[in-house]
């Protein structure tokens, strides 16, 4: 063999395009041997590597001569071969895809495999992530009284194994953090629908939750709130006496704030106060029922829709202020003199001492 035909080792390595393996490299290889506790991989010019059984995906079946993708855990053990992982390779590829989805803000379908009191557990591309309660859309947000954690968990469990359309809110490979948002996925469509609505419109919706201060209503994916003060012209003690979860309602939009509607049930009908107050005149002596007792006086119901106030200063003729709790009892009836009627403010002032 002539000297010109001799190939040096350096030239041989160069021809094979060998690169020094590093921890974290993701490369392809061919399976040469499948054993009970390990799988041996031919890495070509990079030598040989081994994948321990614990680093193979659960239930994954492998065959000799199959090409697989692996991640380098240790580029060279004392024995001269590389320690590899299929799980890590799948995870690395998964993070690459998740990062792309996050960067492009794509809307994707996911299915939660479990739930806890804080939200839903979701796995995508082999990476486990989380969909917090706060990032659920109006359709799925668990509206419960008193933030009852057990009731919240029950509602969240109902969403397990149900397809959800989401966007990735945060994807951090270093911190192994993956957060999903259903609200973000519907935001664009919701904002588009919000622009079509205006104050004064009458909309249909479904009550999704009734709590102490009002009721939440889903208006075609947009969240609406009927405050307790907008449920009825009557004084409402408990919203649950007027609306129920799952009930279909018609309500008037009274305000639009970012991604939420403020709704009113009572404004769907005329204010009965305006009719009933017509029978009362200043200086009339009237009978009323005590409905509330406060440090500053007592509220008195004069008719089904008309409520008045007797101020603490109008309870007793003495110079010392009387204690309303000592003068009145709930639901008792007393006679009062009407001091003033303010129709615009819907207020009536009464006096006990001048009757």
Q: Same domain, yes or no, for 243 and 281?
A: no
Give 8's pLDDT tier (boundaries 50, 70, 90).
low
pLDDT at 196 over 70: yes
Give the model's pLDDT for residue 220: 83
Classify residue 134: in a domain, yes or no: yes
Residue 293 inside a domain? The answer is yes
b vs e for 220-236, b when ≥16 Cβ sit within 10 Å of the residue's Cβ?
eebbbbbebebbbbeeb
Question: Are 111 and 169 in the same domain?
Answer: yes
DSSP 304: S
The more confident residue out of 89 and 144 is 89
Last residue of a domain, one of 268, 299, 324: 268
> What integer pLDDT is reported at residue 2 of this predicted model?
46
Do 126 and 156 fall within a single domain? yes
Residue 2 in any domain: the answer is no
181 domain residue, yes or no: yes
| Residue 231 DSSP class | T
**Which tokens belong to 191?**
């904002």
Residue 195, pLDDT above cutoff 90: no
State whether 255 and 281 are in the same domain.
no
Higher local confidence (pLDDT), 15 or 48: 48
Instruction: Note whether 263 and 277 are same-domain residues.
Output: no
109 and 49 within one domain: no
- Residue 94 belongs to some domain of the structure: no
Mean pLDDT over all residues of the chain? Answer: 88
- Within 13 Å of residue 278, how many CA atoms lie on the same side as its CB? 5
Pair 182, 111 in one domain: yes
| pLDDT(98) > 80 | yes
Per the domain annotation, does 211 fall within a domain? yes
> For residue 355, what pLDDT is reported?
63
Q: Which pLDDT belongs to residue 107?
A: 94
The number of domains in the chain is: 4
pLDDT at 205: 93
Tell me: do 138 and 65 sit in the same domain.
no
259/301 same-domain check: no
CATH number at residue 146: 2.40.50.140
Is the pLDDT reported for residue 12 higher than 90?
Answer: no
pLDDT of res. 146: 64
Which among 25, 53, 27 has a CA at the least distance from the CA of 39?
Answer: 53
Residue 89's pLDDT is 85
Q: Which domain holds residue 84?
A: 29-89
Would you say residue 82 lies in a domain? yes
In a domain, 95, yes or no: no
What value does the mean pLDDT take over residues 247-271? Answer: 92
Output the pLDDT for position 319: 60
State the Cα–Cα distance between residues 133 and 121, nearest whole angstrom.
Answer: 11
CA pair distance 317, 116, nearest whole angstrom: 61
Determine the pLDDT at residue 1.
44
Quick one: 215 and 259 in the same domain? yes
> What's the mean pLDDT in 55-65?
80
Decide which of 89, 118, 140 is a domain's last residue: 89
Quote the pLDDT of residue 18. 53
241 and 201 belong to one structural domain: yes
Domain boundary among 143, 161, 187: 187
Give the residue-averaged pLDDT of 63-87. Answer: 89
* Total residue length of the chain: 355
CA distances from 194 to 21, 35, 94, 188, 291 (A): 55, 61, 36, 10, 40
Q: Angle at Cα 301 formed by Cα 297 and Cα 305, nearest 5°?
A: 130
Please tell me whether residues 251 and 284 are part of one structural domain.
no
pLDDT per position as a tens digit, 118-172: 999 999 888 899 999 999 988 888 877 666 788 889 999 999 999 999 999 999 9
Query: Model confidence over 198-256: pLDDT tens digits?
Result: 999 999 999 988 988 999 998 988 889 999 999 998 888 899 999 998 899 999 999 99
User: Is the model's pTM score more than 0.85?
Assistant: no
């Amino acid at each position: 063999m002539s000297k010109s035909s001799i190939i040096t080792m350096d030239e041989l390595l160069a021809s094979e395009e060998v690169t020094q393996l590093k921890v974290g490299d993701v490369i392809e290889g061919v399976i040469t041997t499948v054993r009970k506790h390990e799988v041996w991989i031919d890495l070509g010019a990079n030598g040989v590597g081994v994948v321990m059984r614990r680093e193979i995906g659960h239930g994954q079946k492998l065959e000799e001569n199959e090409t697989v993708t692996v991640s380098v855990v240790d580029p060279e053990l004392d024995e001269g071969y590389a320690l590899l992982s299929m799980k890590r390779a799948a995870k690395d590829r998964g993070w690459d895809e998740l990062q792309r989805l996050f960067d492009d803000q794509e809307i994707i379908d996911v299915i939660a495999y479990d739930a806890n009191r804080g939200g839903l557990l979701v796995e995508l591309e082999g990476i486990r992530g989380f969909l917090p309660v706060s990032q659920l859309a109006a359709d799925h947000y668990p509206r419960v009284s008193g933030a009852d954690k057990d009731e919240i968990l029950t509602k969240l469990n109902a969403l397990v194994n149900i397809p959800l359309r989401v966007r990735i809110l945060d994807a951090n490979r270093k911190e192994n953090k993956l957060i999903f948002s259903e609200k973000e996925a519907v935001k664009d469509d919701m904002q588009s629908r919000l622009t079509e609505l205006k104050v004064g419109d009458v909309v249909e919706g479904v009550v999704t939750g009734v709590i102490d201060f009002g009721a939440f209503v889903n208006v075609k994916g947009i969240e609406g709130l009927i405050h307790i003060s907008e449920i009825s012209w009557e004084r409402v003690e408990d919203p649950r006496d007027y609306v129920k979860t799952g009930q279909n309602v018609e309500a008037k939009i009274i305000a639009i704030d970012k991604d939420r509607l403020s709704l009113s049930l009572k404004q769907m009908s005329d204010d009965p106060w305006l009719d009933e107050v017509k029978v009362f005149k200043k200086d009339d002596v009237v009978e009323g029922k005590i409905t509330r007792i406060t440090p500053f006086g007592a509220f008195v119901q004069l008719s089904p829709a008309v409520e008045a106030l007797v101020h603490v200063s109008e309870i007793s003729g003495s110079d010392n202020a009387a204690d309303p709790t000592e003068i009145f009892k709930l639901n008792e009836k007393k006679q009062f003199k009407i001091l003033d009627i303010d129709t615009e403010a819907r207020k009536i002032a009464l006096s006990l001492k001048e009757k």
